[in-house]
Amino acid sequence: MQRTIVTLTALAMLSTPSLSVAQAVEDANIKLIEAYETVKVSTIPDGIYLRNVNDPDDIIWQRLPEYRVAMLPAPAVHQSVELRVNYDTEASYLNVTLAKTSDRFYVRLRWVDDTKDTETAFDRFRDGVAVQFSMGDDETSYIMGDGPDSPVNIWYWRSDKGEVQNLAAGSPGSTTILDEQPVSGESQYSDNDGDPNQWTVVMSRPIEADGDHNVSLDRDMVPMAFAVWQGAEKERDGFKRVSDGWILLDMASE
């Protein structure tokens, strides 16, 4: 399997003559990441702090590289999902920024969403986003693991509560809330006049965390995958969009 190291290029701060022009320039500066590519996690030097630990709008994010991951309908694992999913639909995209300090790991996620959906009721569903980590290597299935011996750790943000849940799974349908909840997060919904509306979510966790199913971030390479739920599209549970394979996080480079 061929893998390439992605060279990080700092994104310049943009002056904005108009929102539509800004969007076009911004998009041109975001690197599209393919499955099984390796991405260096940016290092935030000690002594530089976010305004608060998970601030989605902190100026630091403008100084760090941002990547784009194609999101496709998840493979159906249940007949009810098979009836709803359209595999001919075009890819959507999730923008990702990855960073670490000496003691904390951050992931910032940004995606277009025309509507802010924060409730689950009859025929209404909430927005959500998740990152998933292999507890082992990239041979583990990115579709929620291969069983009890090859599980995954999932950080799931849900718009109704505005919080992140720390989960584990060994296969589709086996998702479990862990006793340890060291992951935190914050979100921001931007209702943009003349530009696409979007969610921005930042999740973070100490590099070191106890618990059998908390992913070890103190290693050179960490496989990571993504999922997004659009409530307006009636997406929920296994009906979602996912990245097509792992992205390999280079945690060792400075």
What the chain holds in terms of domains, given with CATH numbers, is: 5-250 (2.60.40.1190)
CA–CA dist 246, 225 (Å, integer): 5
User: What value does the mean pLDDT take over residues 229-234?
Assistant: 85
Mean pLDDT of the chain, nearest integer: 85
Question: Does residue 60 carry a pLDDT above 90?
Answer: yes
CA–CA dist 240, 71 (Å, integer): 9
In Å, how far are 58, 67, 90, 193 from 28, measured between CA atoms? 22, 11, 19, 21
Residue 21: band (very low, low, confident or very high) from pLDDT cuts 50, 70, 90: very low
Q: Look at strands 42-43 and 92-100 and give their pairing.
A: parallel
CB-based contacts of 211, cutoff 8 Å, min separation 6: 178, 179, 180, 182
Residue 81: band (very low, low, confident or very high) from pLDDT cuts 50, 70, 90: low
Spacing of C-alpha 107 from chain mean position:
7
Q: Residue 89: is it exposed, middle or buried by C-beta count within 10 angstroms (0-12/13-18/19+)?
A: exposed
Share of the chain above pLDDT 90, in %: 62
Which amino acid does the sequence have at 219?
R
CA–CA dist 92, 23 (Å, integer): 16
- Tell me what pLDDT residue 13 has: 31
Question: Does residue 25 carry a pLDDT above 50?
Answer: no
CA angle 155, 99, 50 (to 5 degrees): 95
pLDDT tens digit sequence for 146-205: 888 889 999 999 999 999 999 999 988 889 999 999 999 999 999 988 789 999 999 999
- Tell me what pLDDT residue 5 has: 36
Using an 8 Å Cβ cutoff, are 201 and 108 in contact? yes
3-state SS class at 248: strand
